[in-house]
């Protein structure tokens, strides 16, 4: 989808004031893109705010979070992502306060999520159903000090709520004006396809995007979700592009140091525990560190640049607890990784080709085409 975001388009720049043109030419964060098949303009680098608040034993204090928020907006970013459960609601509260302080609500593309339980023991205080969706939405609006959400995500599939109920309730919330756009996070590909098809057939609000984990040590979405997103017009927003910090270059197999990666190991969340458990992941880290040395750039910048420019990706979520981390990461689209180095990362991190996806590769497809090259469209059609 994105051949090279490092090349910033100057189309129509001559129509903008000089100072604005300078910001565009020096910051690829300002090179906005449409989210999926919508008219919503978003920064390709979004600010992930699971780090806002220290309620979970790590993260950023209010003053640090405010500095991160302001630095991101001052750098041209406009896409803020949070969730009702992040730091027990503190993340949303901080964002609401910061937007109010800057009078920035209309400028910000504000995304939040619902699904996880807010009252243990009460089955209707969690899940994807209508009762919890509307409860969670009202709570988020209150904490965020706003009367509408730009992008509302289903945080995770609950396995039981009928998809028709979810999509109908989301559509009603859009029609009420409390939500502008909708998306799914951490749902099966078949569920996403069914949800989008139902919305199209019934004239309901269509899904705008998918939020999924994607990084050099977790590339399984390439099997099905990336083709799905390209086919159905969904923008992929990537969470954990640095694998909870594993790909920053500061960790070794024998020393996780103090920080988020060490803190989350005992959280009971399997998505965190597996990060350091696979020996292959440390081989990827080693290759990444070698390339960082060759290029003279931080390992985090290399890892973020590589994932941000993959097919189907609309935005990556940058999470930070320190201002210098965010400033460095806002530069990740200001360079192009040499093709040979990108290929090395692709090879060392290539996901296992499991069934049935092995049938869709060039070797097996040649058995259908008789060895001829067949493309679904001319290769030049989307060239820029």
Question: Which pLDDT value is given to residue 1?
Answer: 43
Closest CA to 75 of 275, 262, 320: 320
DSSP string, 152-212: EEE-S--SSS-HHHHHHHHHHHHHHTSEEEEEEES--HHHHHHHHHHHHHHTPPPEEEEEE
Closest CA to 242 of 58, 29, 31, 45: 45
pLDDT under 50: residue ranges of the chain: 1, 3-4, 6-26
Backbone angles phi, psi at 246, to 5 degrees: -55, -35
Question: Which pLDDT value is given to residue 279?
Answer: 85
Distance CA 111, CA 187 (A): 17
86 among known catalytic residues:
yes
CA distances from 93 to 65, 104, 139, 173, 248 (A): 11, 15, 10, 22, 28
Q: What is the DSSP letter of 26?
A: H
Annotated domain spans of the chain: 30-352
CATH code given to domain 30-352: 3.20.20.100
From 72, 86, 181, 251, active-site residue: 86
Residue 276: partners with Cβ closer than 8 Å, 6 or more residues away: 246, 251, 253, 256, 261, 265
Q: With b meaning 16 or more CB within 10 Å and e meaning fewer, what string describes 173-183?
A: bbeeebbbbbb
Question: Which pLDDT value is given to residue 251?
Answer: 78
- Are 231 and 197 a contacting pair, CB within 8 Å? no
Question: Which pLDDT value is given to residue 23?
Answer: 37
CA 235 to chain centre: 9
Q: What is the pTM of this model?
A: 0.89
Ordered alpha helix ranges (H), 11-162: 18-26, 62-74, 90-102, 130-144
């Amino acid at each position: 989808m994105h051949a090279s975001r490092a090349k910033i388009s100057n189309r129509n720049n001559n129509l903008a004031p000089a100072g604005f043109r300078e910001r565009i030419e020096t910051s690829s964060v300002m090179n906005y893109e449409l989210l999926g098949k919508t008219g919503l303009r978003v920064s390709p680098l979004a600010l992930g705010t699971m780090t806002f608040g220290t309620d979970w034993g790590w993260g950023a204090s209010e003053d640090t979070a405010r500095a991160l928020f302001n630095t991101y907006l001052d750098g041209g970013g406009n896409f803020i992502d949070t969730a009702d459960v992040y730091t027990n609601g503190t993340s949303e509260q901080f964002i609401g306060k910061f937007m109010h302080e800057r009078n920035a609500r209309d400028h910000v593309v504000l995304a939040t999520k619902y699904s996880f339980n807010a009252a243990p023991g009460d089955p209707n205080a969690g899940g994807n159903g209508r009762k919890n969706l509307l409860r969670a939405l009202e709570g988020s609006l209150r904490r965020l000090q706003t009367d509408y959400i730009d992008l509302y995500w289903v945080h995770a599939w609950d396995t039981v709520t009928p998809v028709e109920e979810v999509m109908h309730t989301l559509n009603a919330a859009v029609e009420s004006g409390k939500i502008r756009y909708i998306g799914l996070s951490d749902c099966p590909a078949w569920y996403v396809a069914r949800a989008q098809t139902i919305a199209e057939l019934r004239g309901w609000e269509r899904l705008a995007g998918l939020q999924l984990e994607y990084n050099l040590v977790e590339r399984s979405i390439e099997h099905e979700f990336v083709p799905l997103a390209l086919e159905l017009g969904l923008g992929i927003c990537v969470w954990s592009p640095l694998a909870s910090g594993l790909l920053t270059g500061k960790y070794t197999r024998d020393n996780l140091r103090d920080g988020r990666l060490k803190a989350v190991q005992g959280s009971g969340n399997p998505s965190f525990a597996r990060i350091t458990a696979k020996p292959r992941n440390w081989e990827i880290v080693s290759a990444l560190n070698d390339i960082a040395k060759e290029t003279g750039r931080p390992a985090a910048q290399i890892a973020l640049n590589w994932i941000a420019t993959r097919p189907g990706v609309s935005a990556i979520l940058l999470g930070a607890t320190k201002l210098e981390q965010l400033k460095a990461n806002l530069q990740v689209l200001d360079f192009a990784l040499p093709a040979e180095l990108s290929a090395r990362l692709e090879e060392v991190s290539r996901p296992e080709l499991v069934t049935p996806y092995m049938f869709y590769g060039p070797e097996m497809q040649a058995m259908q085409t008789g060895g001829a090259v067949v493309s679904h469209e001319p290769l030049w059609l989307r060239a820029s």
